[in-house]
Amino acid sequence: MRPTLVTLALAAAACSAVTAGPLAAQDFPATPPAPMPVKAAQFPPFREATLPNGMRLLVVENHKLPTISMQLAFPAGSVHDFEAKAGTADAVAALLTKGAGKRTADEFAAAIEGIGGAIGAGTDPDFLTVSASFLTADAPFAMGLVADAIMRPAFADKEVELLRTQTLSALQLEQSQPSSMASRFFDKGLYGDHPYGRRPTPATVKSITRADLVAYQSLRLRPAGALLVFAGDISLARATELASKAFAGFTGAAPAAGAFKAPPTRTATEIILVHRAGSVQSNIVAGNLTWPASDKRVYGAAVANQVLGAGANSRLFMILREAKGWTYGAYSSFDRNKGVGSFQATAEVRTEVTDSSLAEILKQEQRLGAEAVPAKEFDDAKSALVGRFPLEVETATQVAAQVARARLLGLPNDYVQTYRQKLAAVTPAQLQAAATAGIRRDGALVVVVGDGAKIYDKLSAIAPVKIISVDGAPMTPADLAAKAPPLDLDLSALTAQSDSFAVIYQGNAIGAQVAKLEMVDGGWKYTETTAIPMAGVTQSATLTFSSTLAMQETHQSGSAGGQQIKVDLTYAGGRVKGKSVTPSQTGPKSVDVDAEMPAGAIDDNAITPLVAAMKWAPGATFTITAFQGGKGAVGQLTLAVAGEEKVKVPLGEFDAYKVDFLGGEAPITLYVTKAKPYKVIKIVPTGMPITIERVR
C-alpha cells in the first residue's frame, strides 16, 4: 500500500524527534531570553480644540485606511435619571437612533446602512455616548445623521412603547436569574442611596413618559462639557468643519448635578442572603467601595486583580475550580467610575460548598494584601496586562473609545500613551499597597443568592447575615422553613377537558402541544404531549393527584436538542422520591430525588390544569409551593395578574388576564381567559422567539 502524505509527514516528524535529540539540546536554549524593555504604544499626535458652543474636540489622526470612528459623550449617565424614574437615560440612548430628524426608525437605519456605516448609543452610570463609524467620503452625511439623533430625536410613541415592552421583558428575565439578582442587591447594598446603586424596576420603567424622555434629552444632551472624539482618516481642521456644520445652532450646557448622597461606610463584613427556595447553586458576590477612576493606585490595583481573579490563571479560578472543584469559574474585577468605584469577586458554586467557597474567597482577598506575591506570579501577571494592551488599541474605534473614556474620567492627557509603561513600572510593594486599600476583606459586603434553608447557619459562622426574599422583603430564619401556603382553589371548577395548542415561530406553526385532564379512580390524571420537530423537542408528561389535589406521581419522557428527558417521581409520606434527567447547557443533568414535600405543595407541571380552579381577578396573586424536577428541590412560584388585554389566537379573540409566572427556570407570561371556565389561551416564554397559542 502506498503511504499517504499525512503518513509520510508523521513519519518524518517522528524520525526528526529521534535523530535530533542531543543536537537539539545544544542548538536551542533551555530558558527563554529576557524580555525587551517595554516600548510606548505608538499613537499619532492628539489634536485638540474647543468649539464655540463649548464642545471639546479631540482628533487622533491615522490615514492608513479611509475610515473614521467617532464618539460623542455627554455627562448624562444614569446617575442623572429623574427621581423615581430609573431607566430614563437608558431609554433616551436606546431611542436616539429609532427615528430622528425627518426619518422614521426604519428610514434612519436604512440611511446609515446604505453607506456601510453604523451608529449606536449607550449609557453607563456617568455618561451617555453616541458612537459612529463610516467611510471618510461619507463623513458629512454620517455626521448629519448623528446630529439628527442628538438634536432632533423623534421619540415616536410607537417606538417608546415598543422599547417599554422590550425593557419590561428583559427585566422580568433578569430578575429571574440568580447572577442578576446578586448584582442588583450588591450594588444597592454597596452604594445605598447614591445613584450608582440605583437600577430600573418594572415600576420605574412603566412610569417613564415620552415627555420625560424629551425633557431629559433637552436638559442633558447639551454641547458645553461634551467630548467629541474622532479617530482615523481625518484632520483637526476637517473635524472642526464637520462638527461646526453638523451641530450648527446646538448650544447650552446641562444643569449642574446636585450633591449625591454618600454611600454607606462599612467597617465589618456583612452578608446579605437572598433566599431563593429550591436553588441548587449559590451565587456569591463579595466586595467593597474603592476610589475615583483618577486615583493613581489603579495601576497597582490592575496587577493585583490580575493575580487574584482576572482570568483562568488567577488565584480564585485555580483554587476554587481547579483545586477544589467547587465552581466552573471564579473571578474578580475593579469598576472605575468618575465618582467612587468598587471591587468585587464573584463565583457560582454548589449549595453544599457555599460557606467553604465564600471563606476561601475572603481568605484570598486578605492574603493578597498581607503577603508579598511570589516573583514569578507577579511578573506573569504584569506581563499579561502589558502584552494585552496593544491589542486593545488596534483599530480607530478602539482608540476613540480608550481616549474618550480616559478624558471623561478626568485622567491625565497622556494616560493612554503611557499606560503600558506605568503598568510595567508597578512594583510588588505598590501591588500590595493597592490590594490592602482596594480589597478590604474585613469591610466587605457579601451577597449570596441561594437556598437559605440550607446555607444560613453555615454563613452565620462567617459573618452576620441579613435575610431578604428575591423581592427584597426582610425575612427571619423562621421564614426559611419550607411551607406551602394554602391555595384558595375552587375545586368544583375542575372538569374533564382536552386542549390543543400550536407552537408559533415568526407567525408559522412549528409544533404542537396537546393536553388532557380526566377523572381516574376518584382522582385526576393530567397528560401533556409536546412536539417541535425542527427544534428536536419531543416530550410527554403524566401527572396524577387526588380529588383534593394531593400529588401522587409524575412521569416525563422525551428529548430536547439531543438530550434525554426522563423524570419519575412518587409523592408519599411528606416526601418526594425518584430520579430526574433533564437537559442543560452543559449536557443532561441527573438528580436523585429524596426531598421534603410540604403539605399542599404541588408538582410544577400541575400549574396548567389548576388554572381553571384559581380565583382570577384584577390584581390577583397566587403563591405556590412546587417541586421542580429539573432542580430536584421545592421552590416558590408566583402567578400575578399584571393587566388585562384582548388577545387573538388561532381559536379566536378573547378578553384575557395577562399573568406573570415567576420562580421557574425562566419567567413566562400566561394569558388566561377572563370568563369562566378559565383557560390558558397563550403562553409566551420571556426572551424566546416563540409563543404557544390555543387552537382548540
Task: Dump the DSSP string for 108-122.
Answer: HHHHHHTTT-EEEEE
- Alpha-carbon distance of 382 to 307, in angstroms, equals 9
Task: Give me the torsion for CA of 164, 170, 471, 444, rounded to 10°.
Answer: -120
**Statement: residue 467 has pLDDT above 60:** yes
| pLDDT exceeds cutoff 50 at 153 | yes
- 25 has a pLDDT exceeding 60: no
CB count, 10 Å around CB of 26?
6
DSSP 339: S
Evaluate whether 344 touches 331 at the Cβ level (below 8 Å): no
The pLDDT value given to residue 375? 96
Task: Give the model confidence (pLDDT) of 247-266 as tens digits.
Answer: 999 999 999 888 899 999 99
The answer to which of 152-161, 215-224, 350-359, 542-551 has the lowest mean pLDDT is 542-551
Q: Measure the N-to-C terminal CA separation of the chain; round to a whole number of Å.
A: 67
CA atoms of 209 and 686, how far apart (whole Å): 24
Does position 3 have pLDDT exceeding 50, yes or no?
no
Grid cell digits, residue 422: 506605568
Whole-angstrom distance, CA of residue 57 vs CA of residue 244: 11
Per-residue pLDDT at 340 exceeds 70: yes
Averaged over 576-601, what is the pLDDT?
84
For residue 457, give Cα distances in angstroms to 111, 164, 359, 463, 487.
Answer: 60, 41, 14, 10, 30
Contact 321, 267 (CB under 8 A): no
Residue-wise pLDDT tens digits, 540-583: 999 999 988 889 999 999 998 889 999 999 999 989 999 988 88
What percent of the chain is helix, strand and coil (3-state, nearest 5)? 35, 30, 30
Which is it for strands 563-572 and 621-628: parallel, antiparallel or unpaired?
unpaired
Cβ–Cβ < 8 Å for 647, 656:
yes
Which residues, including other chains, have CB under 8 Å from residue 507's CB and lie 6 or more apart?
Answer: none
Report the pLDDT value the prediction gives residue 38, as an integer from 0 to 100: 65
Q: Quick one: pLDDT at residue 24?
A: 45
Reference 353, options 277, 450, 258, 229; nearest CA is 450
Residue corresponding to grid cell 514569578: 376
pLDDT (0 to 100) of residue 632 = 74
CB contact at 8 A, 446 and 285: yes
Instruction: Answer whether the bond into residue 677 is a cis peptide, omega within 30°.
Output: yes
Burial 235-246 (b: 16+ CB within 10 A, else e): ebebbbebbeeb
pLDDT at residue 635 in the model: 81
List Cβ neighbours of 366 (8 Å cut-off, separation of 6 or more). 441, 442
Nearest residue to 130 via CA among 153, 156, 160, 154? 153
The whole-angstrom separation of Cα 141 and Cα 147 is 10
Q: Are 443 and 347 in contact (CB under 8 A)?
A: no
Could you tell me the pLDDT band of residue 28, with boundaries at 50, 70 and 90? low
Cβ atoms within 10 Å, residue 506: 7
Position 21 scores a pLDDT of 43
Average pLDDT over residues 339-344: 96
Cα–Cα distance for residue pair 268/445, rounded to 1 Å: 8
pLDDT class for 27, splitting at 50, 70, 90?
low
Percent of the chain predicted with pLDDT > 70: 94
Nearest to 487 by CA among 396, 621, 359, 366: 621
Q: Which residues pair with 528 in a beta bridge?
A: 515, 541
pLDDT at residue 45 above 90? no
Lowest mean per-residue pLDDT among 86-100, 301-315, 469-483: 469-483
Q: Which three cell numbers stand for residue 242?
A: 464637520
pTM for this predicted structure? 0.84
Q: Which of 4-8, 122-126, 547-551 has the lowest mean pLDDT?
A: 4-8
pLDDT at 91: 98
Rounded to 5 degrees, φ, ψ at 412 are -55, 155
Distance of CA 438 to the CA centre of its chain: 25
Strand runs labelled E in 102-246:
118-123, 128-135, 227-232
**Are 315 and 308 contacting, i.e. CB atoms less than 8 angstroms apart?**
yes
Q: Which stretch of DSSP H or E encloses residue 259?
A: none
User: What is the C-alpha to C-alpha distance for residues 411 and 407, in angstroms, rounded to an integer?
Assistant: 6
Cα separation of 393 and 525, whole Å? 64
pLDDT at 6: 27
Answer whether 627's CB lies under 8 Å from 566's CB: no
pLDDT reading at 209 higher than 60? yes
Measured distance CA(254)–CA(222) in Å, rounded: 6
pLDDT exceeds 50 at position 233 = yes
Answer whether residue 422 shows pLDDT above 90. Answer: yes
Q: Given this model, what pLDDT does residue 35 score?
A: 65
Q: Is the dihedral of CA 337, 342, 345, 349 positive or negative?
A: negative
Contact (Cβ atoms closer than 8 angstroms) between residue 575 and residue 594: yes
Placement of cell 445613584 in the chain: 195
- The predicted pLDDT at position 311 comes to 93
Mean pLDDT of the chain: 90
Q: Report residue 567 as a C-alpha cell.
A: 423524570
- SS3 (DSSP) at 369: helix
- Rounded to whole angstroms, the Cα distance separating 403 from 623 reads 51
Mean pLDDT of the 101-125 span = 97
Residue 67 carries which DSSP code? E
Alpha-carbon gap, residue 629 to 336, rounded angstroms? 42
- For the chain, the C-alpha Rg in angstroms (whole number) is 30
Percent of the chain with pLDDT over 90: 73
Residue 5 has pLDDT above 60, yes or no: no
Distance separating alpha carbons of residues 550 and 552, to the nearest angstrom: 7
Residue 15, pLDDT > 70, answer no
> Which of 140-149, 612-621, 664-673: highest mean pLDDT?
140-149
pLDDT band at 20 (very low <50, low <70, confident <90, very high): very low
C-beta separation of 623 from 635 below 8 A: no
Helix (H, G, I), strand (E, B) or coil at 411: coil
Ordered structural domains, the chain, with CATH: 46-246 (3.30.830.10), 270-480 (3.30.830.10), 491-547+598-694 (2.50.20)
Whether the Cβ atoms of residue 470 and residue 282 lie closer than 8 Å to each other: no
Model confidence at 39, pLDDT cuts 50, 70, 90, reads low
User: Which H/E stretch holds residue 281?
Assistant: strand 281-289
Question: Do residues 182 and 172 make contact, with C-beta atoms less than 8 angstroms apart?
Answer: no
pLDDT of residue 504: 94
The C-alpha cell 374533564 sits at 496
Contact of 403 with 227, CB cutoff 8 Å: no
CA 354 to chain centre: 22
57 grid coordinates: 474636540
In this structure, of 339-348, 595-604, 618-627, the range with the lowest mean pLDDT score is: 595-604
- The residue type found at 654 is F
What amino acid is encoded at 78 in this protein? S
Mean pLDDT score, 314-338: 96
Degrees, nearest 5: CA angle 667-157-248: 120
Mean pLDDT of 148-164: 97
The mean pLDDT of 86-97, rounded to a whole number, is 98
Q: Is 472 helix (H, G, I), strand (E, B) or coil?
A: coil
Query: In this structure, what C-alpha cell is assigned to residue 576?
Result: 418526594
Cα separation of 348 and 449, whole Å?
9
In order of 2, 19, 25, 486, the CA distances from 10 in angstroms are 15, 14, 22, 72
**DSSP-assigned states of every residue in 594-639:** EEE--TT-EEGGGHHHHGGGB---TT-EEEEEEEETTTTEEEEEEE
